Amino acid sequence: MAAITLEGVSKRYGPVIALDEIDIAIPDRALTVVVGPSGCGKSTLLKVIAGLEEADSGQVAIGGERIDHLPPARRNVAMVFQAYALYPHMTAAENMAFPLRMAGLGRAAIATQVRAVAETLRIADLLDRKPAALSGGQQQRVAIGRALVRDPAATLLDEPLSNLDAQLRADMRAEIAGLQKQLGATMVLVTHDQIEAMTLAERIVVLNHGRVAQTGGPLDLYHRPANRFVAGFIGAPQMNFLDCRITALGADGIAVALAGDLTLTIPADPGAARVGVAATLGIRPEHLALGETSDPSLVCAVTRVERLGASAHITVDSAAGPLRVAIAGEPSLKEGESLALGLAPARCHLFDADGIALASRTL
Amino acid sequence: MVRPATVAPLRRHRTRLAWAALAPALAAVAAVAGWPLLRTLSLAFTDARLATIETARWVGLENFAWTLSDPDWWRAVFNTLVFAVCSVSLELVLGLAFALLLNAGLRGQGALRAVALVPWAVPTVVAAQVWRWMYHDVHGVVNELLLGLGVIAQPVAWLADPALSLAAVILTDVWKATPFVTLLLLAGLQTIPAPVIAAARLDGAGPLDLLIRIILPLLRPAIVVAVLFRALDALRVFDLIYVMTSNSRATATVSIYTRQALIDFQDLGAGSAAAVLTFALIGMVAVAAVFALRPATGVAR
Amino acid sequence: MRRRRLARIGLYLGAGAFLAFTLFPVYWAAVSSLESGAALFTIDYWPRDPAWENYSDVFADQPFGRNIANSVIVATLTVGLSLALAAGAGFALGRVSFRGRRLMLAVVLATTMFPQVAVLAGMFELIRGLGLYNNLAGLALSYLLFTLPFTVWVVTTFMRQVPAEIEAAALIDGAPPWRVVWSILLPLVRPGLVTAGLLAFIGAWNEFLFALTFTLTDAARTVPVAIALISGASQYELPWGRIMAASVIVTLPIVALAAVFQRRIATGLAAGAIKG
């Protein structure tokens, strides 16, 4: 087990920049999730760590030792692929034995280790089957077994759950997290699914356009998004964004004016903000309050109500723009109805014209 | 690990690996195709004979001039083109008919498809001998059948009569090669999605509309490929004619002419000139066909 | 309803015509091979009095057994050589993207259109230069001219279909490149190798022009040449019964192969052609 560090790693495919000066430190014995929309470079990142692709520049080190010049076979990194990539002509046991055979282990040692891993993954009774005779979930376990069997320095998982159905995905998610804890393994999991990232990770690396948008724990990203991209990407339903203008800077925060004559003073460090510039106000649907409160409020008209049972999503139109509201329970609202919506300044995020967070401070 | 820690960059390493894996095949192609072709090209400009390759002298275009003024050469070109055009068009029409038949959902289709492979698998020499026997002027079953049906009044010497021998040989080629065309077109037919056919039926297309407006256009790539492959084979036909009619001028093709010059007359120079001309003829047809093929498969690539 | 039934009958009549056209010559060869003497010269659609002497005569009057063995050796050599070369080439052309890949594929495929006579003189020199004239190894070598393009093409096509992830997995699992090819890729493209090998075997078994030109003695001849050159007591009296018997003998194994592997061969032909 070892920590992985990337320094200034860049990779381009022709005109497309897949990775742009990436610096990441992936901690030892933890599960790190790399998340981002498709095309953000997250798969390339894994390939560069595994040695399947070569970075144009920068360094990759595992356990403090540079490995970017080594072929994949000598990096002691294991990988679980999205489509599992099991060897179709080999049984489950042979699949898991393959890395050990390549490492030159003896027959007996291989058999013992394969059996041990198979038991951990509860696939000991499937060892003689070929991949075609296994279900998706079983294939997934064999693929994980093949990765873990040789006790690698790090295990890379490339969208490992996206080929499974919803129920199985939830089970496997819990199982991977459990395995990681049980074995104390260093794992890097790549996904496009922010919910998967939030539920699995101890640490999340958000990638966008080949750059690290933010790194942190799940709740760090939720409460203190560093930029508009992370704010919009993490959390569902998505954060609402409203155009605004900075009107004053004071000790109690930044005052902004929204369309429809609403003024808010957001408790944030004024920092580099300047009066008169355009900004974006962000507030999560679940942080909007229905009805009159002591907070500044907007008068809205309900355009759509989606009832999910335990909660409801309401879309409204306001002078400041359309908003989504998430509330618990089953509201007795009708489309066309008008209501007041309270914006708690402490729940608001503020982003400058470049999308960088103006030191938001959520309580 | 005692090996030095640095290896060549991955991509370059892989490229080198690819060239190493490819090298033996390329060497083989160079040895059995490239070099012999170059030799043929260079010999065509000399007076080499089989026994005197080493002492051959450069004679410029003399061999080409000689070959191009030989009426036998032009007869061979004519025969080759007639053979290719007739056999390939017949094979295409019959092959299409059989392919549609095999695709019509008859019982025992698998067996029919297996049967279709039989003439294709039969060695050409065997096909030639069998048909030669069937065409026999006195004891042949073809004459017997046609006499019985009243098509002919007296036995015909199919292979000896210069007016008939080429047609007889063409028919043999049609027998041997139609299954190949059938299988290619059948594979093409099976790539046409059933809903497309169903939609055309619902739109009111009759069987003929269906064939002309839907099936044939969609089958175009397969047809072009089948024609290309068959034309290449037909233009260089040798075995069939060598065995069935040996040295008859009425059926000699460019391949027969060339081998005769090279081996029987031991005239490497003139033979090589004929070989170069043969190659040029076939090359032109192939290039034309490849260009015809391009737009059809451009998307699939 | 009536029209549909008529159409159905038409289809079956067509199928019957197809069967008759395709199978009659083969049937006729078999019938003739069982007749000798005067029986051969009267038309019987069923051998009334099957005589097997043609079959024994084929082996008695010439080294036909030797010819068959030669054909088996040449075809096997050709298959082995072609597949070995095509495995490497298929890996390179199907799994690695490098500058010149398309050109190299085109070069290999271009030999498809080489007329055998166009290389006859040079090939003759090559074979004589290597000391392989009148030698089975020389024949197998020359057969690469027509087996390599399609074996390389079929293997390349199959190689391309192996998901990139599988190869990546093997590399990460610590397999050196040759091991990836040997333990992972080749087993996965086995159907392609079998198909290409079958086509190469049939092609080599049936080849005539090179076999005729590059062998001299009865003992080095392959069966197509032997069958083409069977002669009788006089030039005008060919031993048709024996020729038909020999034809049946060399055709049976190849037709059996084709029948057993018909699906493979059909898809192989189609894959080679349609995707090309």
Interface probe, candidates A77, A81, A149, chain C, greatest C C-beta count within 10 A: A81
Q: Does B225 contact C at CB distance below 8 Å?
A: yes
Q: Looking at residues A129-134, what average pLDDT do you find?
A: 95
Q: pLDDT-derived band of residue C5, with 50, 70 and 90 as boundaries?
A: confident
Q: What is the pLDDT of residues B236-259, one digit of tens each?
A: 999 999 999 877 888 899 999 999
Which residues of chain B lie closer than 8 angstroms to C205, CB-CB? 123
| Residue C235, pLDDT above cutoff 60 | no
Which residues of chain A lie closer than 8 angstroms to B9, CB-CB? 54
- For chain A, percent of residues with pLDDT exceeding 90: 60
- pLDDT value for A102: 92
SS3 A53: coil
Instruction: Please state which of the ranges A222-231, A339-348, C5-14, C163-172 shows the lowest mean pLDDT.
Output: C5-14
Answer yes or no: is B142 within a domain.
no
Which residues of chain C lie closer than 8 angstroms to B104, CB-CB? 11
Q: What Rg value do the Cα atoms of chain B yield, rounded?
A: 25
Q: pLDDT-derived band of residue A359, with 50, 70 and 90 as boundaries?
A: low
* Dihedral sign computed on CA atoms, order A56, A57, A60, A65: positive
Which residues of chain C lie closer than 8 angstroms to B31, CB-CB? 126, 141
Q: What Rg value do the Cα atoms of chain C yield, rounded?
A: 23
Q: Span A240-351: which CATH code?
A: 2.40.50.140
| Residue C233, pLDDT above cutoff 80 | no
| Residue C44, pLDDT above cutoff 80 | no
The size of chain B, in residues, is 301
Q: What DSSP designation does B154 have?
A: S
Q: Does A54 contact B at CB distance below 8 Å?
A: yes
- pLDDT value for A197: 92
Q: What is the pLDDT of residues C134-161, one digit of tens each?
A: 999 999 999 999 999 999 999 999 999 9
Interface probe, candidates B3, B6, B10, B12, chain A, greatest A C-beta count within 10 A: B10
Closest-approach residue (CA) in chain C for A100 = C173
Answer yes or no: is B93 within a domain.
yes
- pLDDT value for B250: 85
Closest-approach residue (CA) in chain A for C188 = A89
- Are A318 and A263 in contact by the 8 Å Cβ rule? The answer is no
Write down the architecture of domain C53-274 according to CATH.
Orthogonal Bundle (1.10)
- For chain B, percent of residues with pLDDT exceeding 90: 44
A89, C163: Cβ pair inside 8 Å? no
**C45 vs C61: CA distance, rounded Å:** 28
- pLDDT value for B297: 46
CA distance C175 to chain B (A): 14
- pLDDT value for A224: 92
Q: pLDDT-derived band of residue A154, with 50, 70 and 90 as boundaries?
A: very high
Closest-approach residue (CA) in chain A for B13 = A71
Interface probe, candidates A43, A47, A79, A140, chain C, greatest C C-beta count within 10 A: A79
Q: What is the pLDDT of residues B172-218, one digit of tens each?
A: 999 999 988 998 898 889 888 888 888 888 888 888 888 888 889 88
Residue B284: CATH number of its domain: 1.10.3720.10
Cis check for the bond before A237: say yes or no (omega within 30 of 0): yes
- pLDDT value for B193: 87
Count Cβ–Cβ pairs < 8 Å, chain B vs chain C. 290
B10, A53: Cβ pair inside 8 Å? yes
Instruction: Mark out the alpha helices in chain A (DSSP H runs).
Output: 42-50, 92-102, 107-120, 136-148, 166-183, 194-200, 218-223, 228-233
The CATH number corresponding to A4-233 among 3.40.430.10, 3.40.50.11690, 3.90.1150.10, 3.40.50.300 equals 3.40.50.300
Q: pLDDT-derived band of residue B155, with 50, 70 and 90 as boundaries?
A: confident
CA distance C88 to chain A (A): 20
Q: What is the pLDDT of residues B131-142, one digit of tens each?
A: 999 998 888 888
The number of beta carbons lying within 10 Å of the beta carbon of residue A167 is 9
- pLDDT value for A180: 92
| Residue C274, pLDDT above cutoff 80 | no
What total number of domains does chain B contain?
A: 1
Scan for tokens 């897949």, then name that residue: A18
B104, C11: Cβ pair inside 8 Å? yes
* Domain-wise residue ranges, chain C: 2-41, 53-274
**What are the C-alpha distances in Å from C146 to residues B117, C48, C150?**
20, 43, 8
- pLDDT value for B9: 64
Q: Looking at residues B163-180, what average pLDDT do you find?
A: 93
Q: Does C174 contact A at CB distance below 8 Å?
A: yes
**A143 vs A92: CA distance, rounded Å:** 9
Closest-approach residue (CA) in chain B for A57 = B9
Other chains touching B, judged by 3 or more CB pairs under 8 Å: A, C
Q: What Rg value do the Cα atoms of chain A yield, rounded?
A: 24
A54, B13: Cβ pair inside 8 Å? no
In angstroms, how far is CA C98 from the centroid of its own chain?
32
| Residue B295, pLDDT above cutoff 70 | no
C168, A52: Cβ pair inside 8 Å? yes
- pLDDT value for A54: 87
Nearest Cα to Cα of residue C153 among C115, C207, C108 = C108
- pLDDT value for C273: 54
Taking each continuous run of H as one helix and of E as one strand, the counts in chain B are: 14, 0
Nearest Cα to Cα of residue B190 among B261, B102, B278, B131 = B102
Nearest Cα to Cα of residue A351 among A259, A225, A251 = A225
- pLDDT value for A298: 87
Q: What is the pLDDT of residues A185-235, one digit of tens each?
A: 999 999 999 989 998 888 999 999 999 999 999 999 999 999 999 999 999
Which residues of chain C lie closer than 8 angstroms to B37, CB-CB? 114, 118-119, 122
Closest-approach residue (CA) in chain C for B15 = C98
C174, A73: Cβ pair inside 8 Å? yes
| Residue B7, pLDDT above cutoff 50 | no
Answer yes or no: is B11 within a domain.
no
Q: Does A69 contact B at CB distance below 8 Å?
A: yes
* Domain-wise residue ranges, chain A: 4-233, 240-351
Q: Looking at residues B265-291, what average pLDDT do you find?
A: 88
Which residues of chain A lie closer than 8 angstroms to C172, CB-CB? 50-52, 72-73, 75, 77-79
Q: What DSSP designation does A312 have?
A: E
C25, B104: Cβ pair inside 8 Å? no
Number of C-alpha atoms within 13 angstroms, CB side, residue C174? 21
- pLDDT value for C14: 85
* Dihedral sign computed on CA atoms, order B252, B256, B261, B263: negative
